[in-house]
Structure 1
Amino acid sequence: MTPVHRNVELVTAALRTAGADPARVARLRVLSDAVTTAASAAAALGVEVGQIANSLVFSADGEPLLVLTSGAHRVDTGKVAALVGARQVRRASAEFVHAATGQVIGGIAPVGHPAPLRTLVDRALAAHDEVWAAGGIAHAVFPTTFDELVVVTGGQPADVA
């Protein structure tokens, strides 16, 4: 049996602890190829790009901010800054992301981080019965729902585009 990456173990444990549906957690998939973009993840899973919940980490006045956004659009950092009361929201460096999440860009999960992150969950994801999020590495994905993402992350529903 192939060992599971530690980040995937942390993500599945965090999902279970936060009350995610065990049937969905059991459907976590480790793909043969990395899926580091919403388009590649959607193609590998046979779903619409809007069903991909991108986990993007920003620096909001120097503090990490996780934005779970639909793969169908881009985050409006000005709108997000206003939502969180920050002077400036900008894309975080790879080092900043890794320090905040313990994961690398392209495989950031909504959960499984060293400490909880302030999180916004894109309301556009609610348009889909099922969405897919990264599982802590670029090869892992799991199914979830908008409502479940809000619960397991302690996130705030928001219009981020």
Structure 2
Amino acid sequence: MSGNHQHTPKRSSKDRVAGAAIALGFDIEIITMPASTRTAQDAAVACGCQVGQIVKSLIFERHDNQQLVLLLIAGHNQVDMDLAANVIGSALDRADAKKVRRETGFAIGGVSPIGHLCAMDVYIDPDLLEFEMVWAAAGAPNAVFSISPDRLIDGTNARLLKGKQ
């Protein structure tokens, strides 16, 4: 008699993103590119879009409680760390790659806005809202999907990363 040691195959990060998309009601197609889409510029060329339409999914760690935070930033922008700290309520550090992998299930370069192993607060760059469609990583350095920014906000419960008007 064998025990309960059946090994269930580990789901790939892309499969996890696909499953999360279905659970959120997203009608997306994950596209595997022939080349890496690790940088926003590479992704824009591969997707045939503007760099600003690329969603950079950047993981930071809060100073106050070490919780991870996901910032969805337009490909042509850098994170305004002072603005982010003001909106979020804590200074931020770029999260360590091992912690990102352990807690989210994604490796840097393939971090998706959806399908994380852990819950975290999500903030979105308002510049992404200027586009009808944006492109995000789908769990691997060469996998992407397109989605409307409004659907992305709804599915991730993202808050706008902007200062007081």
TM-score using structure 2 length? 0.87
Letter in 2 for 1:35: T
Q: CA RMSD in A?
A: 1.3
Partner of 1:49: 51
Letter in 2 for 1:115: C
Deviations 1:87-132 (A, max 9, x none): x211111112112210111110001111222100111101000000
Partner of 1:63: 67
Partner of 2:128: 125
Note the 1:18-37 alignment, pairs <5 A: 18-20=24-26, 22=27, 25=28, 27-37=29-39
Other structure's SS at 2:116 match: coil
Larger Rg: 2
Partner of 2:76: 72
Partner of 1:138: 141
Other structure's SS at 1:100 match: helix
Letter in 1 for 2:81: T
Letter in 2 for 1:150: I
Do 1:124 and 1:159's aligned partners in 2 also have CA atoms closer than 8 Å?
no
Mapped to 1, the partners of 2:89 and 2:138 lie a distance apart of: 29
> Which region of structure 1 is more displaced relative to structure 2, 132-141 or 151-160?
151-160
Aligned residues: 151
Q: 1:95 aligns with which of 86, 95, 98?
A: 98
Partner of 2:159: 156
Other structure's SS at 1:58 match: strand
- Gaps (5+ residues) in structure 2? 1-10
- Moved beyond 6 Å, runs of 4+: none
> Taking every aligned residue pair, what percent have the same amino acid on both sides?
32
Q: Does 1:38 find its partner at 2:69? A: no
Mapped to 1, the partners of 2:158 and 2:85 lie a distance apart of: 16
Do 2:71 and 2:123's aligned partners in 1 also have CA atoms closer than 8 Å?
yes
Deviations 1:73-97 (A, max 9, x none): 10011111111111x2111111121
Other structure's SS at 1:54 match: strand
Partner of 2:8: none
